[in-house]
A and B are shown apart, each in its own frame.
Chain A
């Protein structure tokens, strides 16, 4: 009985048990809630800190882009100045505290550079080079004669200058000239009823009777070059016209001299600097060369190339292996593969558009194509990957680039573009 009473004393009441269970439950809920709040707070702070980290990173990424652009340009300059001799050892560059490291992934030969522009014209009549700054293009488009400006260099493109209606007269001679007030185009046209007319297209689009009387092209109807100078030494201006198959000098006193060699093509011409005498190189079908010179009162044979020949721009003239002479006027053709072919392909006009040598210009399938300095031969493509990093491990930017290198020596040119 006593034991029973003691047992009852030690036994807790049911209300007390429930209260203890509730307390435990409440403590667990409180702990979990606090944990959830703590985790939320940590996540919130981490999130906000992440926003700031990203913000700080934005500045680093911005600098990484600039570092990479700087390094890519510096590498191009290294290629251009020839300081990179071994492609397995190319320089890295540090700019703004970040470093760009390059790796060459491949090299290959590429065709000569070709610039392509949309050009809605039917045929190209004349290209007038502008001292390395591009060219003036005279072309036919339907019933119109169009004059456009081709710009090369840093901002290549075509600017439309003029488009004037043209009637049924055939153009059998043409010469463009850049004067102070703009482009003047001189025509020798065949009237529909017969007879020739000399016309001038002025920069404001007017077609007037020309005071300049162009000579006709006696063979192909495709006048390739006209130059004005005192070729006979009498002090009066003479006109020299050149086609593929003939050279003609119209002297200021009215005398006319022409020269052609049956079975031979004129492959190059230039002006001798010492006495301003036009010189010509003819090549016959069997590949033999014959040199001719205008002496003032006719054409004569010349015993080989004359020393000191200079072209109209005053540049030294040299003989190329396939018989083009000098950068001012060489009658070569560049085919689709970039091969240099000494021929008189119609539709391909040759002149120095970019100031670096003979360029080939043609219209094809609604585009104007300019093969830039094709006489240089093929170019070189250098494929490069770049890694820009802050320190050694913190990589910010990875890219790949293509460098196209054309020409050699002072005529070397480089283009580059981001591939990825």
Chain B
């Protein structure tokens, strides 16, 4: 093998190493990346749900379930509203997939609304 052939071989080894490294990173983080994307989608859904209470509505108490389709992900949305003190209600919002909650948010509301 001449010098040129050896250098090509070394370059190929480096490229393979780099490819393996990137593949390793990708494989390492793939699951987290997917979860991250779903978490962002869930936050977007949560923002849409909470936007409704930017006005002046005082939410009703109870447990409310619904689903929202974002892309290919079907998010399950659960909203629980309860009285925590006279005139104050707590709304908890859970967004996730079956058995997996990506977002859990809490907001309090008063009768001023």
Contact = CB atoms under 8 A, between A and B. Distances in A.
Contacts of A66: 50, 105-107
Contacts of B55: 154-155
A95 B110 contact: no
A77 B40 contact: no
A52 B36 contact: yes
Nearest to B55: A154
Interface stretch (A41-49, A209-217, A219-227, A263-271): A41-49
Interface of A: 37, 41, 44-45, 48, 51-52, 55, 58-59, 62-63, 66-67, 69-71, 73-74, 76-77, 80, 93, 95-97, 154-155, 414
B32 A62 contact: no
B111 A77 contact: yes
B56 interface: yes
B106 A63 contact: yes
B27 interface: no
Nearest to A153: B56
Contacts of A67: 106
Given A41-B21, A62-B47, 13 more contacts: A51-B36, A52-B32, A52-B36, A55-B36, A58-B40, A59-B43, A59-B105, A62-B43, A62-B105, A76-B110, A96-B106, A96-B107, A97-B106
A62 B107 CA distance: 11
State the 8 A-B residue pairs at the shortest beta-carbon distance, nearest first: A96-B106, A70-B108, A154-B56, A77-B110, A66-B107, A55-B36, A73-B110, A95-B108
A310 B106 CA distance: 47
Contact of A73 (B25, B103, B105, B108): B108
Contacts of B15: none
B12 interface: no
B39 interface: yes
B107 A95 contact: yes
Interface string B38-81: 01100100110010000110000000000000000000000000
Nearest to A61: B43
Interface of B: 17, 21, 25, 29, 32, 36, 39-40, 43, 46-47, 50, 55-56, 87-88, 103, 105-113
Contacts of A58: 39-40, 43
A172 B67 CA distance: 61
Contacts of B111: 77
Contacts of A62: 43, 46-47, 103, 105
A59 B21 contact: no
A44 B105 CA distance: 31
Nearest to B36: A55
B39 A55 contact: yes
A77 B112 contact: yes
A62 B39 CA distance: 12
Contacts of A93: 108
B7 to A, nearest CB: 12
29 contacts: A44-B25, A45-B25, A48-B25, A55-B36, A55-B40, A58-B39, A58-B40, A59-B105, A62-B43, A62-B46, A62-B47, A62-B105, A63-B105, A66-B105, A66-B107, A70-B107, A70-B108, A73-B108, A73-B109, A74-B88, A77-B111, A95-B107, A95-B108, A96-B105, A96-B106, A97-B106, A154-B55, A154-B56, A155-B56
A63 B55 CA distance: 18
A16 B80 CA distance: 81
Nearest to A58: B43
A350 B48 CA distance: 42
A77 B36 contact: no
Nearest to B39: A55
Nearest to B87: A77
Contacts of B25: 44-45, 48
A52 B33 CA distance: 8
B60 to A, nearest CB: 17
